[in-house]
Structure 1
Amino acid sequence: MLAWPGRSLDVPPGIDPGEYRLALLEDTYEVVAGLELVTPALVLDPPDQPDAEAVTWPGTPIVREPSLTGAFAALHALGAESAALIAPDAPDLPPLLIGKLFRALGSAPAAACRAEGGALVALAARLPLPAWLAAALRDPALRDTGLDTPDALDRLRAAAPRPGLVPQAPGWHRLRTLDDLRFLDPGLEGWENTRALLEGHPLGR
């Protein structure tokens, strides 16, 4: 799980940006925390975000790492043999998609869920990372590859020594712009904190 750094958010008018950020994060965290056989963790960058830590369940590991490679390494040090890093702005992400990412790791070292409009919703990998994947995620010539990188999946696949090493799970969406709110389905269970905060606001433009 990732808590993003202080990038600007496209927040609906009349909603506090901090409350909006935390609502998205808490709903996304709840999706992960509710999965069987999965241990949730919170990855923070910047490292000091007490408001973000407050949304987690007691005992949740807190990882303070600015990069995906650092986050994966820290989770491996905590005992994880595989992990999925998930963007914190996907409050209605179906748990089934996360399960498909982990199942894909049975035949590939990594798997990704692409976001609507580019970038990634999630990146899963066996741990420790294979050398080619670690290098692709931290290549300074590419200014690093993260979940917000528009062509992240293309970069990772290009770095793989052979095709098929980074399969793609079904895509989903992230709430990065006001227009992205149109993807929210009021009839879909979950995303309770985001739903309550958006009550009375139109979903999308």
Structure 2
Amino acid sequence: MLIKKIVSVILSLSLVFMVSGCQSDKDNPLHGKDTDERIVMCLENAYPEHNFKVVKSFDKQKNEGLFEDENGISFKVRNLLYDNIYHFGCCDEYLATILEKQDFFNKAKIIVEDKYQQKFTYDEDTMVIEIIYDDTNNQITTNEISQMISEVLNMADAPEVIYPDNQEFSTGVVNYYTLPTFGMLQCYIKRNGWGVTERFYVSDKVFEQSKIKEKIDKLYESTEK
């Protein structure tokens, strides 16, 4: 009799776990999705104005796949951060591809270096405006810096980009996103021996110049002796 009760309890608990597991899977948007489907989900969250499809399936050995928007713009997705039951993250080159087609990087370099005599650099995924102060050769004002940043950001004819609110991955919490390559413009100021950085996103082009200046003023003040 005791054995029957134990078996009955075990079966009941198993049923509860199965039901709760099914409910959990049902509520998890990643459930049942392969890597390519997850990438498309992330892309359409990040770029809500566009639709995407797979051109070449993501190759985990090469760590890249080829995708395309509804206008036929092809781009790579690279660097899976996570790909498990609850977590998925990757990096995409959609925005970078659009910016390259507009010759954005060369135009930004002309604005920063020729017009404002500062330094503009970019590597595989980062754009940086470097402002190095000294007593004789560089006296650019915060108003000029904010104007320069505004000109660079507004020069880009870029799609709407929604960046993830939370890039952390917690046990049992569903989170998935893509990080756009070249989605960020860093402004680095070195003054009085201090180096500080403020980040602006391409989507910040909607900022009024006064709001950009508020950030730059705080950055500049943080380098006071």
The normalised TM-score by structure 2 is 0.27
For the pair shown, the structure with the greater C-alpha radius of gyration is: 2
Greater relative contact order: 1 or 2 (C-alpha under 8 angstroms, separation 6 or more)? Answer: 1
Structure having the higher helix fraction is 2
The normalised TM-score by structure 1 is 0.29
